[in-house]
Amino acid sequence: MSASENPLRVGLIGYGLAGRAFHAPLIATTPGMRLQNVVTADAERREQLSREYPEARAVDSVEQLLADPSALDVVVVASPNDTHSPSARAALEAGLPVVVDKPLAPTAAEARALIELAEARGVMLTVFQNRRWDSDFRTAKHLIADGALGDVHRYESRFERWRPQVATGWRESADPAKAGGVLNDLGSHLVDQALHLFGPADRVYAEVNVRRPGAAVDDDAFVALTHASGVHSHLWMSAVAAQPGPRLRILGNQSAYSVQGLDPQEAALRAGERPGPGWGEPADSDWGLLGATEDARRYPSLPGDYPAFYAGVVAALRDGAPAPVDPRDALATLEVLERARRSAAEGRTL
């Protein structure tokens, strides 16, 4: 029986922003997957789920979702950060493959324990590092692999936002267990991308600040990595950038590549759009610049491809392919983030 005739039955934990805007639409449009159950006890979210995915059934709790593990083929954890580790652990102990939204866990120690549990149970564990499939990052990765920049010596990457008012919710919580703040939230993407491109970091330096009145957690941070490969990565993440800098700038000894705007996929998903023809393609005016000084020219961007993540999950579970993101990559990212926080607190390079 083909994957389309017998799709993987997905249990989704959480129907807030991550579950509703990112995971559910990607799961529902991936050949070989079916959104079967969604954990949410919120009446408004249940009503929205019923409208958007009438074939999916809402359940009240993780315990209810996992009561009959044979009714599912994979579990996706898209609830707040402090629930990632216990929910993933419960699903792994039930013998089910698991996808966890980033970060894998609030701490590197908890992430390591989850990886060891998955290996002991012989089931897939992977992490939704969707920004690996951003248009700008895919294009940059292609140019580096193709040698178009020569030897890269500096990589600059930013996720900067203008949110001068403190919001409610776990992302603004100072509780370490909730893994809030921009270093954890946006840094999980930026550090993952840097390590994915240039390998392990030998040295970490960071500045982590609380800028907004009334903020309980970091909202502005800078991380500098010195990779074993010799490349220097400079990473900015902020909620207080009234004028964001370039999304990417990569400097090599032959050329450079820079991109200003954001990949269009997040905005499309938040607006309720679903993958289809033309998905993830930036406007020509949003293409990056490739070249040196006045010779720099627009370079056609590869389309963004978030659907590739869940296609990779299907391939891993159906065909034995590698998971789309190795969970040990997520562990390495958490280790760097923990060192970054220590570096900022101690005022030194680690």
CA dihedral 159, 202, 106, 308 (to 10 degrees): 60
Does the pTM surpass 0.85? The reply is yes
Residue 342, H or E segment: helix 327-346
Residue 117, H or E segment: helix 108-121
Of 100, 139, 77, 174, residue with least CA distance to 330: 100
The terminus-to-terminus CA distance of the chain in angstroms comes to: 53
pLDDT for res 5: 67
What residue ranges of the chain have pLDDT lower than 50?
1-4
Fold of 8-128: Rossmann fold (3.40.50)
pLDDT for res 180: 83
pLDDT for res 169: 75
- Give tens-digit pLDDT for 24-74: 999 999 999 999 999 999 999 999 999 999 999 999 999 999 999 999 999
pLDDT for res 178: 72
pLDDT for res 341: 96
| 306 in Cβ contact with 18 (< 8 Å) | no
Backbone angles phi, psi at 348, to 5 degrees: -150, 165
Fold of 132-305+335-346: Dihydrodipicolinate Reductase; domain 2 (3.30.360)
Domain residue spans in the chain?
8-128, 132-305+335-346
Provide the 3-class DSSP secondary structure of residue 35: strand
| 317 in Cβ contact with 311 (< 8 Å) | no
Q: How far is CA 51 from CA 33, 41, 44, in A?
A: 19, 16, 11
